Amino acid sequence: MEKTSNLNKDTPVNHSILESIKNRWSPRVFAHTPISEQDAKKLLEAGRWAPSASNLQPWRVIWGLKGSETYDRIFNCLDEFNQSWAGNSQMLWLNAFKKTMNKGEQENFHALHDLGLFMGNVVHQANSMEMGVHQMAGIDFKKAQREFQFTEDYHVTTAVAFGYFGGDPDDLSADLKEQELKETRERKSQEEFAFNGNFQNK
């Protein structure tokens, strides 16, 4: 079977955008090519330079390459559905953010937003390296908090699977294989979320 790549998805854009954004998608199967520690740190460096409110950089990342104890510990915090496919990945991350400002006296309302900006940089960098990224909300947050000894000042949010494009969809269950091979990507229209004037509840 022909292997999947980051170039076989139809992204019906209405306006011209960067090819690296147009070609980005979130695979659930990856090539068996290992990710090196150097490439892992390149992704972290891309995230490091994301903007953040008051330059607090509230993101925190636990990362592990496949075959390592840390990878297995992150994997064991995933829910059953994500465990069914995430073992295809060559690297797993666990993302968290610091909930308060530097002195811990005031809530940082923008921390989750800043973590999103961090991951935006990471995804963009990964795509330039022909690497797929799949972010997951399906984790046991409390278990991960205990497992990795985060204090109460931090909130574990997501896990992330990484791997090079080119995996075999036959490695997935039938329903996930169907999703993986779906050719046309879908998004809401701009008119549904962007308003040049008052908000519209659509």
Rounded CA Rg of the chain: 18
Q: Helix, strand, or coil here: 190?
A: helix
The ranges assigned to domains in the chain are 35-167
Hey, what long-range contacts does 142-147 have (CB within 8 A, 24 or more apart)?
143/77, 144/74, 144/77, 144/94, 147/73, 147/76, 147/77
Q: What is the torsional sign of CA 22, 26, 28, 31?
A: positive
pLDDT tens across 26-76, in order?
Answer: 999 999 999 999 999 999 999 999 999 999 999 999 999 999 999 999 999
- pTM score above 0.85: yes
Amino acid sitting at position 191: E
Q: Distance between CA atoms of 12 and 197, rounded to whole angstroms?
A: 26
Place of tokens 């960098």: 125
pLDDT given at position 132: 96
Residues of the chain with pLDDT under 70: 1-8
Bin 188: left if φ > 0, else alpha if -120 < ψ < 50, else beta. beta
Task: List, in sequence order, every residue forming a beta bridge with 94; answer none if it has no partner.
Answer: 62, 159
Helix, strand, coil distribution of the chain in percent, nearest 5: 35, 20, 45
CATH class of 35-167: alpha beta
Residue 93, both tokens = 């991350």
pLDDT given at position 8: 67
